[in-house]
Amino acid sequence: MAEPTGPAKQGRPSMTSSMRSSSFLKEHQQYRPPNKPENHYGIDTVVEDIQSTQISAPRAQISPFNGIPSPENPPKIVDGASHELSHPNCTTTPGTNTNRLVATLFYRSSAPRISNVIPSPQRASSPQRAPGSPKVAAVDSDIPPTMAPSSSLDTFPLEPPATEPEPLDHLYGSHISPMCITSFLHLMSTFPLPPNSPEPSSGHRCLKLGVTPEHHPEVVELTLAPAPSADYLSLADLRKHELIYRFEREWNVDVALRADTLWRRYPRLVVFDMDSTLITQEVIDLLAATIKDPPDLAARVADITHRAMIGELEFDSAFRERVKLLTGLPAGIFEELRPALDVTNGVRPLLKALKRLGVKTAVLSGGFLPLTSWLAGELGIDYAHANEVVVDETTGKLTGEVKGRIVGKERKRELLIEIAEKEGISLDQVIAVGDGANDLLMMDAAGLGVAWNAKPRVQMEASARLNGDSLLDLLHLFGFTEEEIKQLIA
């Protein structure tokens, strides 16, 4: 017997696929704003129906560059046409001169700046000094020891130093990051160019990679064309510009600016200071440390040395004063100090590389000739000049007098020029490296003066600054890559 059929069970209302649109908002919103164009496409349309919606005009197809022959674009010979495989950045047209600026950026990996404002995930912030606690030592402060203190204006009523810029390298990477390069290029674009200059262009190449597994760049060379107008700002003034200095502090880098000339890549003479440059110590401080009576002699000599190096004291008079304090030392003390000399990291491979390149070397020291001559022989340096002390022939001890002219700042400049003339070398092909105020005239006479972990005044006056842990970085200023340097010192 057939069961009676009742009415069919009504299902829940729903939208079929034919009733659906491509917009969730169009299906569910109750109010549609007036004056809204019908062809407006919201983000929901882009996400849900991007294939059926054309938001912008199709991009024009870019034809491949075929200026240089390749398997995909073989060369074609056309009668009456001139084909050249050159580019404006590679060579200049006849009658024009190259006007390029080379900037070498060195990341200070051995001296990171730590932010106290924005925490770093890798490093803790610098400790803060509690009220009433003793002042932090000068070596622990970013403020040079010769500047006015900012803690007590009563004792030294001068305007305090400006606030240091916030370091950015701990945010964007402890290396030469793409943001660092972009920031530098933006900075350089603010300087005016010479009249009727072509469109500015730039290129960069990495000269040295870090030792970390990521191998981030630590030394990068940038070439900018054209260089900023010399009528507006000379290269010497550009190197000391406030914006360049602030950029270095923000990104924890050293910026070396040089005109892109032939002599930049081919130096022929490199002149070094000795104390705190070729070696890590001051020889006269080592001598003073051997004298036990009076007990404070070493500290007194070290203080005079420091004040002379930062330019507070005239070097010649300060040197005579220190030598006078060494009266009575045996003449053989110089031989005893030879094993104590600590050669700066990177000096030996650097001198080996310079010798293979045919570059002459010299050491001009404000120290003592017995040790300077011995060190020059050990390192293979071609020229050595320093001060000669008077020795009493009867007692064999130092008299506290100096023989002849003191090798101070004027004498160092004269010796550099004499050596260059003797070798027939233009001063444009001379590099001078030093750390103290008595090296400034020598560095100014050379084609490039390099301040190596120098005193604040020397850092500001020198043409280039290096504050790394290896003097071998000097070769990067010539444009050598890390691979090329390894070939030179192999």
Q: Specify the DSSP element, H or E, that contains 441.
A: helix 440-445
Residue spans of beta strands (DSSP E) within 210-356:
217-225, 253-259, 269-272
Residue 390: Cβ within 10 Å count: 14
Q: Are 251 and 169 in contact (CB under 8 A)?
A: yes
User: Which residue of the set 44, 237, 260, 275 is catalytic?
Assistant: 275
Neighbour count for residue 128 (Cβ, 10 Å): 8
Long-range Cβ contact pairs of 14-22 (< 8 A, separation 24 or more): 22/48, 22/49, 22/52, 22/53
Q: What is the C-alpha to C-alpha distance for residues 420 and 426, in angstroms, rounded to an integer?
A: 7
> In terms of Cα–Cα distance, which of 198, 222, 195, 185 is closest to 98?
198
What whole-number distance in Å separates Cα of residue 252 and Cα of residue 108?
6
Short-list 327, 329, 341, CA closest to 374: 341
Query: Interhelix angle for 347-356 vs 369-379, to 10°?
Result: 60
DSSP code for 243:
H
Determine contact, residues 439/457, Cβ cutoff 8 Å.
no
Question: Annotated catalytic residue: which of 254, 273, 316, 473?
Answer: 273
Any catalytic annotation for residue 254? no
Active site residue 273: yes
Catalytic positions: 273, 275
